[in-house]
């Protein structure tokens, strides 16, 4: 079985709170391989491309506040590779709403916001991280965020044991 690739973003709240290192460490500790990474300030157009289905799934108001949030500062984008990387990373990230996200997950450990409170403030849920939801979504998102030359090929010490 070939390793999968998935897209992870440390959102502007994670960058501003100085959590880049701690979040990255969790993926490194799990043996996932960082095959590409960069810091990017996105604009509204790019945000629309990345969140192209949000208005349909979550409504126009969520799209509006999400774009405002995601363009409020730089994000750290990374492409991670590993066995069932999409599913494994989503498990480590936790549920969308930090209030309900389990302890031990990134969203559960570093945030506590509820949908209800964010909605009354007309603010996006600042939940630190984005991770591709499905293998198909991951392929599209990695392609949107990275050029081929920005994705690297090397062997980690973990792979020496796995393969």
Contact status, residue 32 vs residue 85, Cβ threshold 8 Å: yes
CA distance 18 to 34: 19
Q: CB under 6 A: which stretch of 21-29, 41-49, 74-82, 120-128 binds ligand CDP?
A: 120-128
Task: Enter the tokens of residue 53.
Answer: 């289905």
**Nearest Cα residue to 141 out of 18, 69, 2, 36:** 36
CA distance 59 to 116: 15
Q: Which does 124 bind (CB under 5 to 8 A by kind): ligand CDP, Mg ion, none?
A: ligand CDP
Q: In what order do the strands lie in the sheet with 129-131?
A: 33-40, 75-82, 4-10, 129-131
Q: Which is nearer to ligand CDP, 124 or 142 (CB)?
A: 124
Q: Which is nearer to ligand CDP, 72 or 156 (CB)?
A: 72
Smallest gap from Cβ 70 to ligand CDP, in A, equals 8
Q: Which residue is nearest to Mg ion (CB)?
A: 133
By the rule CB under 6 A, 133 interacts with ligand CDP: yes
Among 15, 110, 130, 146, binds ligand CDP (CB under 6 A): 130
Residue numbers of the site for ligand CDP (CB under 6 A)?
54, 57-58, 62, 65-66, 96, 115, 118, 124-125, 127, 130, 133
């Amino acid at each position: 079985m070939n390793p999968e690739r998935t897209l992870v973003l440390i959102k502007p709240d994670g960058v501003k709170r100085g959590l880049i290192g701690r979040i990255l460490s969790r993926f490194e500790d799990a043996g996932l391989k960082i095959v590409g990474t960069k810091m990017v300030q996105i604009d509204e157009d790019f945000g629309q491309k990345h969140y192209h289905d949000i208005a349909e799934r979550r409504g126009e108001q969520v799209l509006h506040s999400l774009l405002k949030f995601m363009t409020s500062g730089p994000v750290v984008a990374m492409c991670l590779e590993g066995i069932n990387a999409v599913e494994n990373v989503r498990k480590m990230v936790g549920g969308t709403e930090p209030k309900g996200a389990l302890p031990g997950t990134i969203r559960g450990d570093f945030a506590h916001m509820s949908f209800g409170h964010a909605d009354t403030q007309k603010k996006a849920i600042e939940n630190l991280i984005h991770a591709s939801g499905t293998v198909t979504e991951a392929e599209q998102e990695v392609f949107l965020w990275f050029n081929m030359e920005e994705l690297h090929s090397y062997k980690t010490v973990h792979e020496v044991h796995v393969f």
